[in-house]
Amino acid sequence: MTTNPRLKITDVVSVPLRLVETVGEMEAAWNPGTMWSRTIGGGSFVEVHTDQGLVGIGPGVSPALIPAVKERLLGEDPFDVERHSHVLRYYATGLPY
């Protein structure tokens, strides 16, 4: 009987999406005096690469967060989703872990 070794995360990459056009601007009703621009396209998604060549995708995050995310995830099992989400949710709120 052979056992398959668990996958390990080897890289986390933010992939930007092409901005097609800026449609216009409006004053944000919830924050008077500030302008909010509307665009078509843009944004990003995240790729999670593994040592066995599999790549998962997830929602985009600020590219500035990628080094901290890598610090927490590289070498970890990508299927330990609950533990990873518990750790990474603090990055989204700006709270220290």
Instruction: Please give the backbone phi and psi of residue 9, each rounded to the nearest 5 degrees, phi first.
Output: -75, 130
Pick the most confident of 59-63, 71-75, 81-85, 88-92.
71-75
Is 1 contained in some domain? no
Is 56 contained in some domain? yes
**Domain with 50 in it: what CATH number?**
3.30.390.10
- Cβ–Cβ under 8 Å, residues 54 and 7: yes
- DSSP reduced 3-state for 64: helix
The range of the structural domain enclosing residue 54 comes to 9-93
Name residue 35's amino acid. M
Is 63 contained in some domain? yes
Number of domains in the chain: 1
pLDDT at 41 over 70: yes
Confidence band for 97, pLDDT divided at 50, 70 and 90: very low
pLDDT at 91 over 70: no
Q: Report pTM.
A: 0.72
Name, in order, each residue with C-beta under 8 angstroms of 91's C-beta and a sequence gap of 6 or more: 61, 65, 68, 69, 97
As a whole number, the mean pLDDT across the chain is 86
pLDDT at 10 over 70: yes
Confidence band for 54, pLDDT divided at 50, 70 and 90: very high
What are residue 15's DSSP bridge partners? 45
